[in-house]
Amino acid sequence: MVCSGHENHKEQSMKLLTLLLAPWLIVQGKRVRANTVRLPEAKGPRHGAQGHGELLRVLVLGDSAAAGVGCECQTEAVSGQLAQALAQTYHVQWQLIAQSSLTCAGVLDLLKRSVVALNDPIDAVLVSVGVNDVTRRTTVSQWRDDLNALSRYLTETFQARQIIYTSLPPMHVFPALPQPLRWYLGQQARQLDKHLQHHCQTMTNAVYLDLNMPFEPQFIATDGYHPSAAAATIWGQAAAALVQRGGDQCSG
């Protein structure tokens, strides 16, 4: 079990506080959706091959962050940065399957509907999920089920050797979110991230990537919500390091 008795008490207290704040949170949520700048997904190819050396098949999968929202083009986004970093050592065949606003369950549905150009086995899958599960209020039990379903599908369908799950971002410091909505979503993100770490510990081919970078302006896109190109560079390089180490190192 992930939750201790103390943690269960904290969850109950959180539920009570949420009920008290609910009217305020609903109003703030509507205002944020209405006023937040809507950035497009990054332009450019979503598959390719580069580099020389041993063949490495890489899939980048997920939500708007994986799709490159906050970056001008895919070469600046995490898929491009990951491919560039790995191409220093390998011949990388890569593909991006991602779409804005998707929960973990939505990402799995997108994957099932997509044409995957990579042959089996896929050596590494970089996954970005969770933020939309926070904003859509996915329950912890549903989150665990959705993570299990996604990992199982990647393993059974594509023989994925390594699944790298990116940590949820620190939503409690997102500049686009007002208080107390920022605090509330931050608490929810921490809770889902805790269960994400546990999921990675229970899966033999899953790795938790802790992107514990300084939350400074240069790492935030102009919408105050998504990672910038500078953040995508760090993200892609950190994921590449895990791929190169074969997932032996688990951050967090």
Q: What is the per-residue DSSP string for 153-179?
A: HHHHHH--S-EEEEPPP-GGG-TTS-T
> Alpha-carbon distance 26 to 178, whole Å?
12
For 29-50, letters b (16+ CB in 10 Å) and e give: beebeeeeeebebbebebbbee
Residue 230: other Cβ atoms inside 10 A: 18
Domain spans of the chain? 5-244
pTM score of the predicted model: 0.87
Farthest-apart Cα atoms in the chain, separation:
58
pLDDT digits (tens, 9 = 90+) for 181-190: 888 899 999 9
In CATH, what class is 5-244?
alpha beta
Cβ-in-10-Å burial (0-12, 13-18, 19+) of 66 comes to buried
Instruction: Note the pLDDT of residue 252.
Output: 36
Positive or negative CA dihedral for 131, 137, 138, 139? Answer: positive
> Alpha-carbon distance 45 to 41, whole Å?
12
Of 205, 204, 209, which Cα lies nearest the Cα of 250?
209
Residue with tokens 């950190």: 238
pLDDT averaged per 10 residues in sequence order, the chain, 252 residues: 53 59 56 73 98 98 98 98 98 99 98 97 98 94 99 98 97 79 89 98 97 87 92 98 71 36
